[in-house]
Amino acid sequence: LLPWLNNDSQQTFNTTLQAELKKSTGVPESSGDAMWSERLATPHIIYASRTHSQLTQVMKELKRSGYSHVKAAILGSRDQLCLHPDLSQEQGFMKVTMCRAKVRERTCHFYNNFDTNKMDKGFAPPEVVDIEDLVKFGNKRQCCPYYLARELTTSADITFMPYNYLLNPQTRQQQRLDLNNAVVILDEAHNVEKMCEESASVHFSSTDIALCINEVTQAMKKFSDNLNQESDGDTELDFKLEDLCLLKTMFLALEKAVDEIELDTVKEEGPNKGKKAGRTFPGSYIFELLGKAEIQGENVPVIDQALTGLAQFLSTTSDSPLASKGNMLVRFNEFLKVVYASCGPQGVKNNSDLFYKVYIEPEVPKKAKPDSWSSSKTTLNSNAKVINFWCFSPGFAMRSLLKQGVHCIVLTSGTLSPLHATISELGIPIPVQLENPHIIEPSQISVNVLNKGPTGEKLISTFANRENPKYLGDLGRMLTNFCRVVPDGVLMFFPSYPLMEKTINLWQQEGFWSQIIALKPLFVEPQYRDRLADVMKEYNSALEAEDSRGAVFLAVLRGKVSEGMDFADARCRAVIITGLPYPPFKDPRIILKREYVDNLRKTDPKALSGNEWYQLEATRAVNQAVGRVIRHGSDFGAIMLCDCRFESSNITNSLSAWVRPHINKCQEFGLAYGRVSKFFKSMGITPQTRPIQSGASFDSVEGKVRVKEKAEKPRKENLSQNSMQQFIEKVLQTQPKTKTSAQPSPSGLFDAIDVSTSQSESRKKDILRKCFNQPKEEPTQPQVLPVAKKRKLQIVPLKFDPCEPSSSEAERSKTSMEYIREVKSRISDDNFLQLKNAVKAYAHPQQSNYNNTILCLRKVFPDSKTKDLFIGFKRYIKAEHLKQFEELCLKLFGSMT
């Protein structure tokens, strides 16, 4: 699409065609301009993803492409973009109300500066800008980034925004999005199904109703106190005292109606027997419930106006930080909008029965954050309830989007498999479908299914087996062993936070924790989002340290780390999946969703069954986590699926299409260990041999895991401690020595290293096979090898260019180092790391993939500005590829200078 938008001749063609069509139809040239412009206008592209961090990555790639000059804009919230110091501590509706008041009264100098200069062509940012860039630009020019972003969308060729701006009708209306003739791209589309359901679902509780009553009462008191006082004269309220009385009567009636609802009682044996349980009603029951409080479709607009005006009144007149500011009234207003939107444009309430269920359950106190200073004990009425209005059809929101007049909708993702299931769920026609293979070569990925741990314990993360100490212990042994052969970063994913905490506690008690941190520093995904940035920063620092041996990040499937975060190259060389994250089997919403899907299949045989949907929920989460390991064409890594259920064809067929062809099923742990070790050796990269101290430590206090967010500085340790090499050498000393024939003398340094180390290699392999229960390989010609004399060799790794031809000429060496310094100063750190890894892989005698190296060069040296660096790479090209490289340079640049 961008090449088309960028084509000036296309714009010229449109103008000419418009004039010709007018002439041929006899329409005067001065008339009908709007009609013809609309029909011939280039569609506006809207690019949406789940989070702003994902959008930032996309915009970063756009900046690096040849289309960095296109008119682009990004939409964000005031929480992200507002610069006014008076609003920095406010959030949500309060910030919106205060912002609008300052804009209306012209008391925000950021907005005033924007409004004064917005027509100046030189005022807008000159390039593609993301949220962070907008904030920097706003601070520099002292103008409002929020209103600047909205202004940029009016002339943008492509606009970036999160899903909820598109899929939520209320947000769509607030942002005043014009979707007519727009091309809508929904990236990371595996999230669309859930986002559609969430945007059309809502809940409200007895506590929320009580807070609404409290806010109305507070407003009545303020209103009454000010009755005899002189009005400011410039403030016209949207309500009267009689309106407040009617609102309070309405909320009291609703509270009574909710209290009168009879809930079911738990009858099954167990600790919950006799307690109140949730109860399910048809979707249309919500209108019956609201009707008891005189809330009807015809008076909802009046209620909307009164609630909005009252909330604004409270937010602007509250003189105490503890006073109510109308937030709960706003929430109830949003609740009503979602409920009545379920009726569709025609307002048919029975439509709600097709796609919705009302589930009413006992209300329980909210669990406060452990470090929350503002948390307080909340006493609930024993009859308190939560009214859940749940949508189970993603198609409901997607059809609403289609009705906005969009030109087309494009769904993209690396994990939409199986496509028929996704299309069935979305409920809209998708005539064009495309499923591509991955851009990587088979040699860049190793996928292994493990059904047993190092001691032979069955690997299965079922609910019944999660308390098994032998199973949890083997997970620790497995990670310890893989840390010895996997370089750089390792991501290990658990099905849930509780299981991850249990595993960590057992590892600490049994000593596995100290064994792992002796090999790589450990980091753990925090449950609360506000702590994640600091932990990620420490993880990256551990990987980038000069004496780094990598790092391990323990995370949770469906968590924040498993999606939307870039772990390219050294940040992740292996992903270890410890189980399948099935949704809670007895969760009411899951039960109702499965029933809904089963009912759909009765009318559509191609639709999913409830069991198939349930299984897909687990494998989609796995697909997302697995996607962290390969982030671009030159990347490489290993995937370990450590649960015997991955051997089932039902499970593997639901994995991403690019993963399935590479799956190896390993009946013994030693076989998987050997394959992973061999894979990284074939890529020309293995872990360093110096252990370092962990960058994160954990204290077990009353069963909880406490994370130290700042990593300790890596420190050197004795090479003999916690070393696999030391273990092997000790075992070798107990083995009988044998004699063999003389070996040919080495012809060079690397040959000498091979000879001195390979003589004991066979016996070391035998010991490793015994440790990991791997059958011994029978050699084609049995040999008896002697035990070589111990010889210490110090290998100094090259900083950048392991494949540079050796030369004794000082000038050539100097030129090479100058080239490396020049490259490092002119490209980003990420690109330099990609180039470094590509060079290492190219230098490997068995791999030597010239095409992958060229792909990496074209990525890190993308344009004429880096032409000299691209051509200068000639010094590292092998002789057999030199002619091919020179021809490519002539084709791209016209010369070799």
In a domain, 333, yes or no: yes
More confident residue, 577 or 121: 577
| Two structure tokens written together for 836 | 């470094």
In the numeric block, the tokens 């010889």 are attached to: 791
Mean pLDDT of all residues in 869-883: 86
Are 883 and 850 in contact by the 8 Å Cβ rule? The answer is: no
Distance CA 437, CA 404 (A): 33
- pLDDT at position 336 is 92
Measure Cα distances from 111 to 141, 426, 570 in Å: 11, 41, 44
pTM, rounded to two decimals: 0.70
Identify whether residues 140 and 210 lie together within a single domain: no
Q: Would the pLDDT of 387 be above 90?
A: yes
β-pairing, 704-707 vs 276-277, is unpaired
Mean pLDDT (the chain, rounded)? 78
pLDDT-wise least confident of 308-317, 318-327, 509-518, 639-648: 318-327
Distance CA 584, CA 593 (A): 12
Give SS3 for 832.
Answer: helix
Mean pLDDT of all residues in 804-810: 39
Identify whether residues 254 and 276 lie together within a single domain: yes
Beta-bridge partner residues of 789: none
Q: Would the pLDDT of 481 be above 90?
A: yes
Identify whether residues 285 and 157 lie together within a single domain: no
- pLDDT at position 239 is 66
Q: Would the pLDDT of 530 be above 80?
A: no
638 closest CA partner among 490, 536, 475: 490
Total domains, the chain: 5
In a domain, 113, yes or no: yes
Q: Would the pLDDT of 691 be above 50?
A: no
Identify whether residues 64 and 35 lie together within a single domain: no
pLDDT-wise least confident of 169-173, 514-518, 869-873: 169-173
Mean pLDDT of all residues in 786-805: 38
In a domain, 616, yes or no: yes
In a domain, 152, yes or no: yes
Mean pLDDT of all residues in 190-217: 91
Q: Could you tell me the CATH number of the domain that includes residue 389?
A: 1.10.275.40
Q: Could you tell me the CATH number of the domain that includes residue 159?
A: 3.40.50.300
Q: Give the whole-number percent of the chain exceeding pLDDT 70.
A: 76
| Two structure tokens written together for 631 | 């982030």
Identify whether residues 48 and 29 lie together within a single domain: no
**Which tens digit of pLDDT belongs to each residue from 716-748?**
333 333 444 444 444 444 444 443 334 444 433
Give the domain-ending residue among 161, 187, 213: 187
Burial grade of 320 (CB within 10 A; 0-12, 13-18, 19 or more): exposed
- pLDDT at position 424 is 78
In a domain, 719, yes or no: no
In the numeric block, the tokens 């359950």 are attached to: 361
Identify whether residues 28 and 51 lie together within a single domain: no
Residue 887: CB atoms within 10 A of its CB come to 10
- pLDDT at position 728 is 45
Mean pLDDT of all residues in 292-305: 89
- pLDDT at position 541 is 92
Read out DSSP for 604-667?
Answer: -TTSPPHHHHHHHHHHHHHHHHHTTS--STT--EEEEE-SGGGGSHHHHTTS-TTTGGGEEEES
Identify whether residues 458 and 600 lie together within a single domain: yes
- pLDDT at position 40 is 53
377 closest CA partner among 364, 365, 385, 363: 365
**One-letter identity of residue 556:** V
Are 574 and 486 in contact by the 8 Å Cβ rule? The answer is: yes
Look up the domain containing 883 and give its range.
810-893
Residue 585: which region, alpha, beta or left (left: phi > 0; alpha: psi -120 to 50)?
alpha
Give SS3 for 73.
Answer: strand
Distance CA 756, CA 156 (A): 65
- pLDDT at position 789 is 40
In the numeric block, the tokens 């500005």 are attached to: 865
**Which tens digit of pLDDT belongs to each residue from 135-190?**
998 998 899 999 999 888 888 889 999 888 888 888 888 888 888 889 999 988 88
Identify whether residues 872 and 817 lie together within a single domain: yes
Q: Would the pLDDT of 848 be above 80?
A: no
Measure Cα distances from 784 to 327, 420, 725, 767 in Å: 81, 58, 22, 16
Highest mean pLDDT among 224-238, 388-402, 404-418, 882-896: 388-402
In the numeric block, the tokens 């002439």 are attached to: 23
Identify whether residues 214 and 362 lie together within a single domain: yes
Distance CA 409, CA 182 (A): 9
Identify whether residues 95 and 244 lie together within a single domain: no
- pLDDT at position 490 is 95
- pLDDT at position 219 is 86
Under the banding of pLDDT at 50, 70 and 90, the label for residue 235 is low
β-pairing, 698-701 vs 385-391, is unpaired
Measure Cα distances from 264 to 277, 284, 662 in Å: 5, 20, 50
pLDDT-wise least confident of 137-146, 284-293, 361-370, 689-698: 689-698
Distance CA 842, CA 803 (A): 7
More confident residue, 285 or 43: 285
**Which tens digit of pLDDT belongs to each residue from 535-553?**
999 999 999 888 888 999 9
Mean pLDDT of all residues in 504-519: 92
Identify whether residues 594 and 635 lie together within a single domain: yes
Q: Would the pLDDT of 517 be above 60?
A: yes
More confident residue, 770 or 3: 3
In a domain, 141, yes or no: yes
Q: Would the pLDDT of 851 be above 70?
A: yes
Distance CA 885, CA 868 (A): 14
Mean pLDDT of all residues in 248-261: 93
Give SS3 for 391.
Answer: strand
Q: Would the pLDDT of 210 be above 80?
A: yes
| Two structure tokens written together for 508 | 């600490």
In a domain, 76, yes or no: yes
Mean pLDDT of all residues in 265-292: 85
**One-letter identity of residue 294:** E
* b/e 794-822 (16+ beta carbons within 10 angstroms → b): eeeeeebbbbbeeeeeeeeeeebeebbee
Distance CA 92, CA 105 (A): 20
Please state at what angle helix 131-141 crosses helix 145-153, rounded to 10 degrees.
120
Distance CA 579, CA 625 (A): 12
| Two structure tokens written together for 598 | 């089963």
Identify whether residues 291 and 357 lie together within a single domain: yes
- pLDDT at position 452 is 92
| Two structure tokens written together for 726 | 């030391």
**Which tens digit of pLDDT belongs to each residue from 55-90?**
888 888 888 888 878 888 899 888 888 988 888 777
Q: How many alpha carbons fall within 13 Å on the CB side of residue 339?
A: 26
In a domain, 748, yes or no: no
Phi, psi dihedrals of residue 28, rounded to the nearest 5°: -60, 145
Phi, psi dihedrals of residue 478, rounded to the nearest 5°: -65, -45
**Which tens digit of pLDDT belongs to each residue from 20-48?**
655 655 555 555 555 545 555 678 899 99
Burial grade of 43 (CB within 10 A; 0-12, 13-18, 19 or more): middle
